[in-house]
Structure 1
Amino acid sequence: MRNGGRGTMFAEADSIRRSNFGNIMHSDPNMSMTAPVSEDDLCLRYSSASANGPAFEANRVSCEGSPMTMSPWNQTTPFNKSLSIPFEDDNVPANSLIGSLEREEGHIYSLAASKDLLYTGSDSKNIRVWKNLKEFTAFKSNSGLVKAIVISGERIFTGHQDGKIRVWKISPKNPSVHKRAGTLPTLKDILKSSIKPSNYVEVKRKRSLWIKHSDAVSCLSLNEEQGLLYSASWDRTFKVWRISDSKCIESIHAHDDAVNSVVSSLGGMVFTGSADGTVKVWNRPEQVRKGTKHTLAQTLLQQECAVTALAINTPGSVLYCGSSDGLINFWELEKQLSHGGVLKGHKLAILCLETAGNLVFSGSADKTICVWRRDGNIHTCLSVLTGHTGPVKCLAVEKDQESGKEQRWIVYSGSLDKSVKVWSVSEFAQVAEMQQNQLQGSYDRESFPSDGSYSSTSRTSQHGRY
């Protein structure tokens, strides 16, 4: 295998069935990191004016009582060959851990799943590609800390700590070969722009070309319909790239602090979330041509704590926003962006959000993943997936093509514990049974907010606002 050998996957079959532990995984209040994690480790800006990241309770015991030990897959025996899951469709537990991908080369900061391939980015220079829970190939960038990965057909875009976006293409002759196709902005455009003084802008008391990010690229978002790529950065801007010719067609100074997330909707809107505590809505021009500009439509949220993650569900009807206080706000696009409610399921910062079908997945610095199901504006917490020993930094979701009639999803979670865990999640788990288990377990009966959204727990951040 390329670039330093073979990736490892640890797993072991277990005879535990659904009846033994149900469909719910409980959050373990004793799980946390054994050492504090710095803001640089989390790679998320709570404020560019402060170096204070989220705090962790160092006296807690890691992994104590974790349901991972109850999982039908356990990290005990190394397998070098391809693994087949010894469950029939009807016997796979609804929300369970089915695998763990590990390489001792750095924290996992970004994930992207396409068809049967999973791409992982870390603070090493290697971008690894996994297939059937085994390492398939890898390719190396000039810069480490791959903070964002998005896939468009045969092209892969990666955003980096050095402020650059790198473009890769899959070889048509050999799908395991990924070749560098360029960098955004291109060297040609940099040289061309550098001639005109009007192309320079003031960023953090330094002059920089407007087409270049002057700080880390925090996230990427594709709009396939219009052929646009959006990149957001800690330099307080988001930029718009035309994929067809790799041109930066617009740069927007969007916020007063680092931009942590950008998402593009099919309805002609772009949303940005920032460490300044705001979520902003931008109107996208109907046709992309020279001189067209994104315009600020409204500010949805203004709060003291940082906005850390955004996600839009597949129909484009609901926007979700995670914050450093552990709360998730949501707005209904079909109702003129009216505020729908707040989901309370984490006790530390939300670091990532993903949606699939009627499900919402939230990953947190508390090392858990909450699985929410949406029915109208009511959200029910189906499961709290535990097993990571570090903050959950990124998520990717794909439909389980072998699930038959049951709607199942394969969820990938990347963590600062240097692992990617793979989960099987059902959309139609028995909610009533789960709620009963939750109320008897580590959940609080009083945690039903007045906005109608179900809250898995009334816990809030123990460390105040960031």
Structure 2
Amino acid sequence: MMNGGRGGIGSRMADEEEIGTKFVDTGNHMPRSKFGNMMHSDPNLSATAAPIPRDEVFGYRNSSASLTGPASFDPNRMSCEGSPMTMSPWNQTGGGSNFPWSFEENLPQNGLIGSLVREEGHIYSLAATKDLLYTGSDSKNIRVWKNLKEFSGFKSSSGLVKAIIIAGEKIFTGHQDGKIRVWKVIPKNPKIHKRSGTLPTLKEILKSSIRPSAYVQVRNRSALWIKHCDAISCLTLSEDKTLLYSASWDRTFKVWRISDSRCLESINAHDDAVNSVVASLEGLVFTGSADGTVKVWKREQQGKTTKHSPVQTLLKQESAVTSLAVNTSGSVVYCGSSDGMVNYWECEKQLSHGGALKGHKLAVLCLAAAGNLVFSGSADKTICVWRRDGKLHACISVLTGHTGPVKCLAVEVDHEKSKDGDQRWVVSSGSLDKSVKVWSVAEMAPDMYQMAMMQQQQQYQQHIGSDGDSLPSDGSSRADKNRGK
């Protein structure tokens, strides 16, 4: 397990050891009187969260690097207090209708659709497209699911599929061995997937290997700059789907042109493992690292070459940055950390820290944004669903049912159930419990604060009703009535 400082990159904990780690409760449980403040974001609230131990690592690289200097955000600008998982009146495990109280029938509900289980390894990656769901695990198999049933599958030569992304007819998978494998669906038989290449290509490797300038120093040895020297942690696409970005535990992210599979650039981005990379609009790219920083890069076209330059460091903290997500409009970027927090920045004329969402007791391992919602999956085995309304966020649901850390998320529009004014989403969650769960989530579902108020109102009405039954309609007491008999 990793206990070193900045040099800890060479002593990471193996992914196979991630199960069996003792969970440590680091959530700050707030009194119930603050329930409303916890469920709605308020940048003026303040709270502290104890970071979880660095050896509580679940598939991301952590660091013990102690960063100094002024941070580019205010840690006291919190959006939520307490933990909705522990304080929630609604900790659902079923199909969305098993509530401790009743609601109006027309209120949208969130709940479990089904589970996909194949006992062959912990789930590390997901990708959804149309009606298909791709799952990667620590086995060598990538499974394809359709309508909650296994549809197809294909096998790689290396296990631990840590990232999957789909670009048109191509499927890219990132692996523990530092390679990116490329697959293509056979048009005549969509169940068959053939491997069409590897990044970097053999041609590029041979071409580069004869040039001394193509080598860089990596951990006291020479290596080709076009090759990752450690596990692939994340894959993402540029907004126009022409570029593929790969992040790695070797502290770099690389830029690949999809059309000819060429590596255009390799950026030494951080002082420790890069756990996440995400591309946004206007050529912006965000990277999050075990060194506790989130950095912003700007893509520019210089003639025929692509150049990424550092623009800003959004965050500096001791806790590892484990995941990133950007909403569809590119106006908000979210960052999950090993201390269970989700910080976010709003982009108007410039990026500014908007606050932090506190809904988990353990590390946030994955994030996904869709519509006005953002989903956070955690080592505490839950998924928090947050709805953004202007500059505020409200936790509208906590999805429970996994028996292991939630490692990856994929979100698709539910075209069949979506109606005007009520967007619905199909959310898939992969876990280290070796299962994938599929959820139905309504964007307009009442938030947990509203539901708590409804519960209190119902209980109050029941209480008044029971008292009313014991009182005569004329206002006299029961004892008066008895004495008159």
Residue by residue over 1:270-311, the C-alpha shift from the partner in whole angstroms, topping out at 9 and shown as x without a partner, is 0000000000000101x3754432100111101111000000
User: What residue in structure 2 maps to residue 166 of structure 1?
Assistant: 181
1:209–1:284 distance in 2 versus 1, CA, 3 Å: same
Alignment TM-score, normalising by the size of structure 2: 0.73
The counterpart of 2:382, out of the listed 344, 360, 368, is 368
CA distance in 1 between partners of 2:268 and 2:455 (Å) = 44
Once the 2 structures are TM-superposed, how far is the Cα of residue 93 of structure 1 from its aligned partner?
6.0
Distance between the aligned counterparts of 2:455 and 2:426, measured in 1? 23
Matches within 5 A, 1:105-184: 105-184=120-199
Which of 216, 222, 228 is 2:243 aligned to?
Answer: 228
Q: Tell me the amino acid that sits aligned with residue 343 of structure 1.
A: L
Greater fraction of residues in helix: 2
Pair 1:328–1:411, CA change in 2 (3 A): same
Following the alignment from structure 1 to structure 2, what is the Cα–Cα distance between the partners of residues 177 and 91? 43
Compute the displacement of 1:334 (Å): 1.9
Instruction: Tell me, yes or no, if the aligned pair for 2:173 and 2:182 is still in contact at 8 Å.
Output: yes
Work out which of the residue numbers 238, 247, 257 in structure 2 matches 1:242.
Answer: 257
For residue 266 of structure 1, report the CA deviation from its aligned partner.
Answer: 1.7
Shift of 1:205: 1.5
Task: Tell me if 1:434 matches 2:451.
Answer: yes
Alignment partner, residue 210 of structure 2? 195
2:10 equivalent in structure 1: none
| Equivalent position amino acid for 1:234 in 2 | W
2:334 aligned residue: 320
Task: Give the secondary structure class of the aligned counterpart of 1:294.
Answer: strand
TM-score, normalisation: structure 1: 0.76
Question: How far apart, CA to CA, are the structure 1 residues paired with 2:329 and 2:348?
Answer: 10
Q: Deviations over 1:231-278 (max 9, x none)?
A: 000000000001010000100000000000000112211000000000
Change (3 A) 1:279 1:49: closer
**Distance in structure 2 (CA, Å) of the matches to 1:394 and 1:345:** 17
Q: Deviations over 1:18-76 (max 9, x none)?
A: xxxxxxxxx9xxxxxxxxx99697221012889xxxxxxxxxxxxxx963257569xxx
Aligned partner (choices 340, 354, 357) of residue 340 of structure 1: 354
How far residue 208 of structure 1 moved from its aligned partner, in angstroms, is 0.8
Partner of 2:47: none
In the alignment, what sits opposite 1:463?
none
User: What code does the residue aligned with 2:333 have?
Assistant: L
Query: Does residue 349 of structure 1 match 2:363?
Result: yes
Question: SS of the residue aligned with 1:284?
Answer: strand
User: Corresponding residue for 1:418?
Assistant: 434
The secondary structure found in structure 1 opposite 2:281 is: coil
Q: Take 1:151 and 1:145, find their aligned partners in 2: how far apart are those partners?
A: 18
CA contact under 8 A between 1:275 and 1:306: conserved in structure 2?
yes
Q: Percent identity?
A: 73
Aligned residue pairs, count:
375
CA–CA distance in structure 2, aligned partners of residues 366 and 230 of structure 1: 29
Whether the 8 Å CA contact 2:322–2:336 is kept in 1: the answer is yes
- 1:378 matched to which residue of 2? 392
The corresponding residue for 1:103 is: 118
Unaligned runs of 5+ in 2: 1-38, 40-52, 67-89, 99-104, 458-485
Letter aligned with residue 434 of structure 1: M
1:254-273 counterparts in 2 under 5 A?
254-273=269-288
Cα distance per residue 1:426-446 (max 9 Å; x no partner): 000123532537999xxxxxx
Q: Give the Å deviation of 1:173.
A: 0.7
Instruction: Determine if contact 1:393/1:416 at 8 Å carries over to the other structure.
Output: yes
Structure with greater Cα Rg: 2
Structure 1, residues 397-421: CA drift from partner, whole Å, max 9, x if none? 0111111413110000000000000
Q: Please give the residue correspondences for 1:11-90 in structure 2 after superposition, counting only pairs within 5 Å.
A: 42-47=58-63, 67-68=92-93
Distance 1:125 1:93 in 2: 39
